Amino acid sequence: MQQTRRSVIKAGGALGLLALAGTALLKPGRAHAAWNQSAFEAKSAIDAMKALGMGNAEESKDIVIRAPDIAENGAVVPIDVTSNIPGTTSISVFIEKNPFPYTGTFDFAAGSVPFVHLRAKMGETSPVRVVVAAGGKHYTTAKEVKVTIGGCGG
């Protein structure tokens, strides 16, 4: 089973997406479609956003990203996102300079508080981009997080 699943993921393409869509059907109440392989495998944030149908997101000041200006350790960068846009249904996070920028999408039930705290790996200094879906439209903002080597080499 594991082997099959992995080779399906590696193979990608229509068959892989079908298989993933199949597993997604087992999950009750998912707000959106299957784990979006083409978005997760995109090498740039904009390609990932396009794959998610968020390519035309407009800048917004109503999204608040709280993350350190300088990360103490790139292996664990704490990121809080709050959306003040009414009717927010999801928050997506992209770490632009990571090899695969798309980090995840967080879906909220209608009427809940659009907030998420996550901790991500960052390979280097990069903007952390957030896209919010609300009322069928997409909004975006970004915050730069510096990643230094630091520490003693010993």
Partner 1 sequence: MKIGTAVILAAATAILAACAALQSSPRDEALALMQRDFHAQGIAGMDRLKEDPVQAACNKYNDNPPADLAKKLQGEQYAGVKWPADGKLLGDWKSGEKIAQNGRGMAWSDKGGVGGSCYNCHQIDPATTAFGTIGPSLSQFAKLRGYGTDIQRYAYSKIYNAKAYSICSQMPRFGHAGALTEQQMKDITALLMDPASPVNR
Partner 2 sequence: MADPMKIRATVEGDVTDVRVLMAHPMETGQRSQGGKKVPLHFIQNITAQLNGKTVFSADISQAISRNPVFAFKVKGAKAGDKITVIWKDNKGESRTDETTVRGGS
Partner 3 sequence: MRQALMRGLGAAVAAASLPLAMAQTEDPVAADFDKFRAIMEEANPAELFDAKGEQLWKTPGGPKKASLEKCDLGLGPGVVKGAYAQMPRYFADVDRVMDAEARIVHCMITLQGFKYEDLAKKPFSSATATPDPVSITTYVAANSAGMKFAPPQSHPKEKAAYAAGKEVFFYRAGAFDFSCASCHGVDGQRIRTQPLPNFTKPEQAIRAVQGWPGYRMTGGVMHTLQWRLNDCYRQQRFPEPGYTSEMLSALLTYLTVNAQGQEYKGPGIKR
The correct pick among 88, 105, 140, 141 for binding partner 2 (CB under 8 A) is 105
- Verify binding: residue 69, partner 1, rule CB under 8 A: no
Select from 11-19, 53-61, 106-114, 144-152 the region that touches partner 2 (CB under 8 A).
Answer: 106-114
CA distances from 150 to 73, 89, 153 (A): 9, 39, 8
The correct pick among 32, 34, 38, 78 for binding partner 3 (CB under 8 A) is 78
Angstrom distance (rounded) from CA 58 to CA 18: 31
- Verify binding: residue 58, partner 3, rule CB under 8 A: no
Q: Per CB under 8 A, which of residues 120..149 are in contact with partner 1?
A: 148-149
Distance of CA 49 to the CA centre of its chain: 9
| Nearest CA-CA partner of 9 in 1, 20, 21 | 20
Distance of CA 8 to the CA centre of its chain: 22
Structure tokens at 113: 């508080």
SS3 label, residue 12: coil
CA distances from 70 to 34, 74, 77 (A): 34, 9, 9
Q: Per CB under 8 A, which of residues 79..98 are in contact with partner 2?
A: 95, 98
- Verify binding: residue 18, partner 2, rule CB under 8 A: no
Partner interacting with residue 43 (select from partner 2, partner 3, partner 1, none; CB below 5-8 Å by kind): none
Q: Per CB under 8 A, which of residues 21..80 are in contact with partner 2?
A: 23, 27-32, 35-36, 40, 75-77
- Verify binding: residue 119, partner 2, rule CB under 8 A: yes
